[in-house]
Structure formats: C-alpha cells, structure tokens
Amino acid sequence: MTGPTVLDLRCPRCGAALAGSHQDVVFWCGGCYVPHEVVGERFVERRGNVAQAALRSEKAVVYLPLWAFRVSYAMHWDDREQEALARHLPVVEWVYVTAFELHNASYFGDPGLIFTEKRVRLEAGPPVRVVGCSRSLEEAKAYVEPHLLTIIDRRVDVTGLELSSTIGDVLLWGVPYFDEGDHLRDGILGLKIPSAAVDEVAAIRVLGGAGR
Ligand SMILES: [Zn+2]
C-alpha cells in the first residue's frame, strides 16, 4: 500500500523553501530563480525567464507565468484557394499559454492566446520571484494547436485544414502585471484582467509581490 506523496517543498537546486498556493504544480524558486515542476513524485527543472515590462506604472508589480513554445508548423488544405490565402498569414513563432488559473479566460481575453496572436517577443530582465503555475507543461502543450487554429481561423476558414506542428524550445516566462486593485494590467500590451477572475489572487499578491 502506498501512502500519499508528501513533497519536501525545498528547492532541490539551492535548498531555499519553495512557496506556492495549494494548486500549484510548478514552483518558481525565489533563491536560484529556477522553476521546478512536480512530475510524478519529483521535481523537474524548467527553463524560466522574467520578462521586462514594456510599459511603465507606479503600481506594485506581480509576476504571473506564461508558458512559451517555439513552434514550426505546416498547413495543408485540399482546397487550393484556401491554401493560397494561407500563404499570406503572418507566421507565429512562439505560442504562449496562460499558466495561471484564470476564470472565463475566453470572456476576459486569454493572455496566452492574445500574446500569441500579437506575436509578442519578450525580453528577459533581471530575475525576480514569480508565482507558481497551476498548469503543467503537458497540460499547456495541449493548447498549442488550438491556439494556432483559433488564430488561423480569424483569417482563413480552417474547414478542411490539416495542421501539423512541432514544438522546439519551451520556456516559462514570468510576465509583469501592474496591480491596479480591481484589475491586473500586463506590462507588455497593457491588457486588463479583473483581479476577481484570477484564482488565488490574494496569495499571488503575497507570493508574487516583487515590489514596484
Ligand atoms: Zn532554488
């Protein structure tokens, strides 16, 4: 008989205590700044970067996680006309997937999908503490093709489309969000999400409060 797995929440790399909310599956170490994902019964290191804000604000900043997948993909339609239309589509290089718990993401605007569509290129800044993620790498991968399809579908009818994609580099980004009270505004595009739609927002404010 096996008992429940109890993880020692210490960073296997540097020994610092790992803090997170109860639903986190990735813990971003505040000591060595390396994200560690719980896979089975052990920690696996992930590549993490902290994004530099492109906008300015006097508000406190919290850093929320987004997965980023470098993709290459091919689109094929039997319909030559559709295929010809698709040649003019902008090429997506990075697919972003929201890694924190956001309720009604499709209603409020899913940051991962919007960052993908706007073809955001994030610049790495100095490391800070980033809150953990509730979405695992494997769960996030399942959003790569749906995100691509959503974006392609806005320009070309995806009926009959055969999409094949491969994932190259995988990165976890800590994205700066300005805490404006009833909403959080990202420091890259300036999009607002209601604080109430972010699960565990109170814990995030404590854990991810990297200051101004
Ligand atoms: Zn560490």
CA–centroid distance, residue 147 to ligand 1 (Å): 32
Q: How many domains does the chain have?
A: 1
In a domain, 42, yes or no: no
pTM for the model: 0.92
pLDDT in tens, 25-48: 999 998 999 999 999 989 999 999
pLDDT band at 211 (very low <50, low <70, confident <90, very high): very low
CA–centroid distance, residue 122 to ligand 1 (Å): 23
Structural domain of 106: 48-122+133-211
CA–centroid distance, residue 8 to ligand 1 (Å): 13
In a domain, 127, yes or no: no
Q: Which residues does 135 contact at the CB level (< 8 Å), separation at least 6?
A: 25, 67, 97, 98, 99, 100, 101
In a domain, 4, yes or no: no
Cα separation, 116 vs 43, in Å, equals 28
CA–centroid distance, residue 18 to ligand 1 (Å): 8
CA–centroid distance, residue 52 to ligand 1 (Å): 21
In a domain, 20, yes or no: no
In a domain, 9, yes or no: no
CA–centroid distance, residue 13 to ligand 1 (Å): 5
Cα separation, 21 vs 64, in Å, equals 13
In a domain, 24, yes or no: no
> What letter represents residue 105's amino acid?
A
In a domain, 106, yes or no: yes
In a domain, 43, yes or no: no
CA–centroid distance, residue 127 to ligand 1 (Å): 12
pLDDT in tens, 157-200: 999 999 999 999 999 999 999 999 999 999 999 999 999 999 88
Tell how strand 26-28 and strand 35-39 pair up.
antiparallel
Residues β-bridged to residue 175: 64
